[in-house]
């Protein structure tokens, strides 16, 4: 757990790149260094916005776009494969100032799903678009489109074949290449959250997890906090993790750290695993996870710029 206190006039940012079975025993130093470098690049992309006096919504967009474009993470390029060897992408974004939100799911051609989610929020009449309709909206608004093969990588294809060979359930037991996300508090004290994912290796039937579900994997409200989650999506949806944390902060008077730990505890009691990053309207950053590792990074106005992977860092 990490928590730092700032006044509302100062900025702070947190990012994540998934929770799971990452540990020094199974991840060598070279691989860990690659992930740390990728996290640092995304963290800097978001921090540069805030450092220049930009908005929280611009910062989380920049950070998540960087993570989507990096094949290390399960979002955008490098997304995991469905059972039928395709890539289906989900994303959401929320502005804590107005509680405006945009979400997309089952996207297969839009290069940066988080940008599409933001365009839905800012230029569309709806909050949540899916599949071919989301792609049509993307084309109508001039979003960058790529061939679906752009998202695919050999390593993710190998993971799918390994998953199919096991035949032991619907979930990738390790969950070690999870969702990406960011939360921010800008210099004006406004909050934002964004989350993006390729979902679960081997997912079927257009399965959708918590990432694009407002109030579950993504939530932002200036009256409380901004939250982005990764993990067992079905449980995070049932708990309503993002909104639950915000409600405990706003209505029960709990600190951000207390609320985050309590809600993750509830997820664990229901058999879920994963991680959470959050920031409140005073710029307090916190995170929690009940797995061996969480790809994560934190930056703020003091010059802090930390990335970590394992428990205890």
* pLDDT for 11 beyond 60: yes
First-to-last C-alpha distance (Å) of the chain: 10
Other CB atoms within 10 A of residue 85 CB: 13
12-63 confidence digits (pLDDT tens): 999 999 998 888 888 889 999 999 999 999 999 999 999 999 999 999 999 9
Q: Taking a C-beta distance cutoff of 8 angstroms, is the pair 2, 13 a contact?
A: no
Two tokens, residue 122: 């800012």
Give the whole-angstrom CA distance, residue 37 versus residue 32: 9
Residues 129, 131, 221, CA angle at the centre, nearest 5°? 30
* pLDDT for 171 beyond 60: no
Give the whole-angstrom CA distance, residue 313 versus residue 304: 15
Query: Which of 220, 263, 265 is CA-nearest to residue 244?
Result: 263
| Catalytic residue (choose from 55, 110, 179, 260) | 179
Q: What is the pTM of this model?
A: 0.94
Number of H helices, E strands in the chain: 8, 12
Query: Which of 300, 55, 14 is CA-nearest to residue 180?
Result: 14
218 is catalytic: no
pLDDT band at 303 (very low <50, low <70, confident <90, very high): very high
Rounded to the nearest integer, the mean pLDDT of the chain is: 93
pLDDT of res. 27: 87
Query: Which of 92, 72, 90, 93 is CA-nearest to residue 82?
Result: 90
**CB-count exposure of residue 313 (10 Å: 0-12, 13-18, 19+):** exposed
Query: Which of 2, 40, 59, 41 is CA-nearest to residue 188?
Result: 59
């Amino acid at each position: 757990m990490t928590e730092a206190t700032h006044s509302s006039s100062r900025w702070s940012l947190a990012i994540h790149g998934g929770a799971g079975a990452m540990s020094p025993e199974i991840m060598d130093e070279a691989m860990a260094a690659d992930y740390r470098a990728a996290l640092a690049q995304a963290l800097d992309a978001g921090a540069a916005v805030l450092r220049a006096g930009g908005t929280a919504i611009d910062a989380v967009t920049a950070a998540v776009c960087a993570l989507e474009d990096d094949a290390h993470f399960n979002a955008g390029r490098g997304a995991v494969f469905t059972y039928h060897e395709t890539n289906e992408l989900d994303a959401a974004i929320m502005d804590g100032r107005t509680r405006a939100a945009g979400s997309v799911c089952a996207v297969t051609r839009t290069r940066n799903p988080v940008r599409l989610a933001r365009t839905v929020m800012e230029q569309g009449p709806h909050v949540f678009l899916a599949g071919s309709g989301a792609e049509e909206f993307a084309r109508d608004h001039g979003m960058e489109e790529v061939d679906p093969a752009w998202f695919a990588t050999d390593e993710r294809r190998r993971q799918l074949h390994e998953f199919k060979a096991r035949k032991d359930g619907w979930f990738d037991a390790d969950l070690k290449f999870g969702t990406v996300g960011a939360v921010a508090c800008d210099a004006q004290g406004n909050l934002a959250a964004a989350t993006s994912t390729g979902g679960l290796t081997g997912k079927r039937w257009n399965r959708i997890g918590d990432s694009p579900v407002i109030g579950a994997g993504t939530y932002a409200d200036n009256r409380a906090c901004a939250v982005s989650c990764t993990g067992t999506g079905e449980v995070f949806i049932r708990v309503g993790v993002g909104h639950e944390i915000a409600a405990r902060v706003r209505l029960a008077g709990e600190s951000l750290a207390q609320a985050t730990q309590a809600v993750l505890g509830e997820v664990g009691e229901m058999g879920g695993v994963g991680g959470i990053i959050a920031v409140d309207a005073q710029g307090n950053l916190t995170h929690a996870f009940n797995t061996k590792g969480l790809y994560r990074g934190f930056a703020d106005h003091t010059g802090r710029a930390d990335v970590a992977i394992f428990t205890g860092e």
